Structure 1
C-alpha cells in the first residue's frame, strides 16, 4: 500500500510541476526560465551549470524515475504476475535499480531527503545477503532435491545451525522440551543450477530444528503451453529429477526465514486450516507446531482440497493422517474435488465450530482460520469466515443459546496482493 501511495504522490508531483513549468502564459519570462529550467527550484540554471551538467538534468531524471515505477506497478497486476512471473520478476529487479539511481540524481541538492530510504534499502539487502538461518544469499547450502512422485517436488535443507545468540536460545528451548520453531515461516530460495538471480518464496512444510533443516514441497506450474512451461523455474527444477523418487544434491542460497503478520493461532481454542494444492505447506507447519505445543483444551482441523486423489499421496500428508488417528482433537480430511465437487468452506466451519458436536464444552473460545491455495478458494474461505463472524456476533448479542462453540473468529488468508 505504501508503494502504491508513493507512486501516486510522485506522479502527482511530476504532473503538477510539468503543468506549471510549461505554462505558455509566461513564455519568454527569463526569470522563470532561470528558476525552473533545471527542474530544481532550489537552484537556478546558472548555478546548476557551474556545479555540473548532472545538476541540469533534474527534470529528465525525474521522468526516468517515474516511468519505471509505473512499469513495476503495471507488471504487479495479479494476472500478469501469475501468468508471466519471469517478466514480473526481472522488471522488479532491473527497474528497481534504475529507480534508485534516477531518483538520486533527480533529488539533486536535496539528496539528503533520500538518505533514510537509501539506508533502509541497503540495510534490507545486507540482511538478505548476510543474515538468516543459512547465512543469507551470500552462502551456499547443499540441499536434497527429490521427485516425491504424483507431481510433487521436495527440497530438504540440512540443519541450519548458526552459532549466535538466537541459536543458543533454540538449544535452550529444545533442552527444556519446548518447541523452538514458529509455523508459517517462509524462505526465499535461489537455486544456482537454474538461475543466479531469480529466487522464489516457499513456506516450510516442516520447520527447521537443531537436528534437521526445513522441508519444502512444490509442484511445477500448469495451465500453459508446453513450450512456455519448459521456460518456467519450477519445470527447470523438475527436469533435474525426472524420475519418481529420484534425488539430486543441489546448491541453494536461502534467504530468511520470514514470518507472517498474524499470530492468532497462538491463542486460538480451535485452529482450522482450509487449504488447496501447495497451500498444504503452511497448514502442515501449523499442524507440527500444534503437535509439539499441544495447547490445553484446543482442537485442530485440517481440510486439504486437491483435484485428484493421487495428488494427496505424499509422505508429509500421509504421516499427518496416521498421527491424527491416535491424537485426540486432531482432525484431517482430504477433499477430492474431481470426486465430490468443489469444497464448501462454510460447511467445514460449521462442522468444526458447532457446539452440538461436543468438541468444546463452553462457548468461550476463539477460532482462528488459515487458508492458502488458489484464488477462488481463498475468496470463498474469506467469505465463509465473514459470514461465520457475523453469525457468532449476532448470537452473542442476543445472549441466548448459541450453536457456536466460540465467542469470536479470526482468519489469515495467504494472499500476496495488497
Structure 2
C-alpha cells in the first residue's frame, strides 16, 4: 500500500476545512451571482455545502484508509470483471463500485432537503396567478441544478502529474483521468437534462405569458425574480439563463466531444488548449450562474492554483541547456543537465536508509525551437551520472500519409533540428519537468522481474536493467528477463542497448532477448508469464510499448492473476502509458 506524505495530507485537510468554513461564511455575506441561492433558501444552501464538503471529507478518509490498512486496500482493488468494460476500458473493481455508490448517494440524496423546499416555494409563487399546472418543472430544474453543483465541483479537481491528490495518495495518472472522464460525461448528461427540463418549463411559460399576472410574476431568464424586481436590481438578474445555456448546451458538450480519443489524437495540442480555455470560461459562467456553483468549485480552483504554482516554481520558469545527439540507426539522444549524483550513489544511499530509488523516471521536455507550447514525455534510458545528466532516447514517429502533417510531429521536428545542422551533436535550451516516478512498491520485493517492451518502449527497460545490475552486485537475488520486440533488428545497434547486453553477459540470472517481430511474429505473452512464475516467489512485470502491445501484455497478466486467485500476491505489474 502507498505510504502517505503527511505534509501533503495535512495540506489537503487544511484546504478542505478552510474552504468549508469560508464558503459557508460567504452565505452570510453579500452575493454577486445572478442567482443567489442563499437569499431564497439560506438553510438548505448551508446544508448543501455541509453535504458537499462532507462528501469530499469522506473520499479523503476512504483514500487514507486504503493507504494505511493493507487489507482494505487489497479488498477494494479486487476486480469483478475478467475483461475491461467497453465504455471505460477498465475492469470493474470493488473500490470503484463503493466510490460510485457513495458519490451517487450523497449527490442524489440532496433531493431530500431540496425538493420539499423548492416545491413549497414555487407553488407558493405560482398559486396566486393560477400557474401551478407545470410548475413542478421548475422544482426539478432546481433539484437537478444542485446535483450539478456537486458534479462540477468534483470534475474540476486537478488530475495532472502535479496533482496534490495524486501525489499524496500515489494514485496513477490513468486512474485520475478515468475518474475525470466519468465525472465529465455525467456532468454533460446532467447539464443537458437540467437545461431540457427548464426549457420545457419555458415552453409552458410562453403559452401563458399573454396573461399579465403570469408575465409579471416570472422573469423568463430568472424566474426567482419578478419583472418589477429585475428592473430594481438591474440587468444582472437576467444572466441566469444565458450563462447556463452557454455552459450546459455549448461549452460542456464541446469539451466532451473534442476530448474523445478519435479527435483528441488528431491534434493533442488543439484538444488541450481548447479544453483549458473552455474550462476557464465555463468556471466564470457557472459562478455567475448560481452562487452554490462557486462555493463547490472553490477547492478545485485552489488546487489548480497550487498545481500551476508548483510547475512554475520547479520547471516552467527555468531553462536548462541540453545536448541533442544523433545516436545512429534512427535514434536520437537527449542528455539533460547533471544532477550531481550518479545512479550508483543514489542506490547506495537508498539502501543505507532502507528506502528505494525508482529506476523509472519520466521527464517532460519543452524545446522552444521545436514548439513553444508542446512538451514531450520521456522515460529515461540512463539515470544521471556524476559527469552527465539523465539520457533520453527517441526515434521519429511512424510515417504519415501526408508529409506536411508528418513534419509537424515533435519527433520529426527534433530530427530535422539535428539533420539540418549536419552535426552529430547540438546544444540547445529546454524547459524540463521531472523526474516523475510511478508508485511501484512490488518492484523492490520481487524475486523475478519480467520486462515486456516494444519499439521505443525499451527505454524504461534499459534503466531497469542498470538499476537491477547495481543492486545485484551487492546482493545477488532473483532474476531479470527483458524481452524487447522490434520490427527492425538494426534498432538494437545502440550504445545504451550494448551496455545492457554486457550486463546480461555478466550476470547468469539476467536475460536480454531481442525479438524480431518481422520474422517471428508477436511475443507470446502467456508463455512469458508462465515461464517466470514459480511457486513461492513474487514476480513483477514492466510493460511498455504501443497501445495494442501493452493491452495484450496486460490481458495476459490479468488472466494469470485470475488463475492464481485474488488472494495471491505473487504477480504484480506496471504499464507505462502516455496514450493521449
Both structures adopt the same fold (TM-score exceeding 0.5)? yes
User: What is the 5 A alignment of 1:150-169?
Assistant: 150-160=329-339
Answer with 257-266 or 71-80: which moved more.
71-80
Which residue is 2:573 aligned to?
411
Distance 2:234 2:396 in 1: 53
Q: Are 2:290 and 1:112 aligned?
A: no
Distance of 2:227 and 2:191 partners within structure 1: 19
Q: SS at the partner of 1:283?
A: helix
2:548 is aligned with 1:376: yes
Match of 1:315 in 2: 495
**Most deviating of 153-162 and 110-119:** 153-162
Change in 2 beyond 3 A, CA 1:116/1:14: same
The answer on whether the counterparts of 2:216 and 2:226 sit within 8 Å (CA) in structure 1 is no
Q: Sort the Cα spacing of 1:383 and 1:327 in 2 relative to 1 into closer, same or farther, 3 A.
A: same
**Structure 2 CA distance for aligned equivalents of residues 44 and 320 of structure 1:** 77
Equivalent residue for 2:378, pick from 202, 219, 223: 202
Deviates more, 1:18-27 or 1:271-280: 18-27
Contact persistence 2:383–2:463 (CA under 8 A)? yes
Which moved further from structure 2: 232-241 or 290-299?
290-299
Q: Equivalents in 2 of 1:286, 1:301: separation in Å?
A: 11
Q: How many residues align?
A: 387
**Is 105-114 or 251-260 further displaced after alignment?**
105-114
What is the match of residue 18 of structure 1?
195
1:286 to 454, 461, 464: 464
Conserved 8 A contact 1:49-1:56: no
Measured after TM superposition, the shift of residue 51 of structure 1 is: 6.3
8 Å Cα contact 1:179/1:293 also seen in 2: no
Q: Deviations over 1:213-261 (max 9, x none)?
A: 2211112121412221011121111111117871111111011222224
1:178 CA drift (Å) = 8.9
In the TM superposition, what is the alpha-carbon distance from 1:114 to its structure 2 partner?
A: 1.6
Q: 1:75 aligns with which of 258, 271, 279?
A: 258
Counterpart of 1:142 in structure 2 is 321
1:5 to 173, 182, 185: 182
Q: 1:388 to 1:203 in 2, by over 3 A?
A: same
CA distance in 1, matches of 2:444, 2:396: 33
Verify: 1:33 aligned to 2:218, yes or no.
Answer: yes
Q: State the shift of 1:275 in Å.
A: 0.7
Q: What secondary structure, in the 3-state scheme, does the structure 1 residue paired with 2:484 have? A: strand
- In 1, Cα distance between the equivalents of 2:398 and 2:228? 60
Shift of 1:175: 11
Q: What SS is found at the alignment partner of 2:278?
A: helix
Tell me the CA shift for residue 179 of structure 1.
8.6
Following the alignment from structure 2 to structure 1, what is the Cα–Cα distance between the partners of residues 445 and 356?
A: 17
Bigger mean CA offset, 270-279 vs 87-96: 87-96
**How many angstroms does 1:310 deviate by?**
0.9
Q: Is the 8 A contact 2:446 2:478 kept in 1?
A: yes
Structure 1 Cα separation of the partners of residues 232 and 323 of structure 2:
60
- Cα distance 1:240–1:315, how it changes in 2: closer, same or farther (>3 A)? same
Larger Rg, first or second structure (1 or 2): 2
Spell out, residue by residue over 1:306-364, the C-alpha distance to the aligned partner (whole angstroms, 9 max, x if none): 100111222111111111100232211101111222222222223333x5xxxxxxx21
For 1:184-199, what aligned pairs fall within 5 Å after superposition? 184-199=360-375
Higher strand content, 1 or 2 = 1
| Structure 1: runs of 5+ lacking an equivalent | 163-168, 356-362, 397-405
In structure 2, the residue matched to 1:402 is: none
CA drift of 1:385 comes to: 1.4
* Counterparts in 2 of 1:171 and 1:378: CA distance versus 1, 3 Å: closer
* Larger helix percent: 2
1:74 shift after superposition: 3.0
* 1:156-181 superposed Cα distances (whole Å, 9 cap, x missing partner): 1012469xxxxxx9699279699974
Matches within 5 A, 1:58-73: 58-66=240-248, 67-73=250-256
How far apart are the structure 2 equivalents of 1:268 and 1:171? 17
What residue number does 1:219 align with? 395
TM-score normalised over the length of structure 2: 0.60
Shift of the 77–409 alpha-carbon distance from structure 1 to 2, 3 Å rule, reads: same
Post-superposition offset of 1:211:
4.7
- 8 Å Cα contact 1:38-1:55 kept in structure 2: yes
The two structures have a TM-score, normalised by structure 1, of 0.81
Paired position in structure 2 for 1:339: 519
2:14 corresponds in structure 1 to: none
Alignment pair present for 1:389 and 2:561: yes
Unaligned runs of 5+ in 2: 1-177
Who is 1:238 aligned against? 415
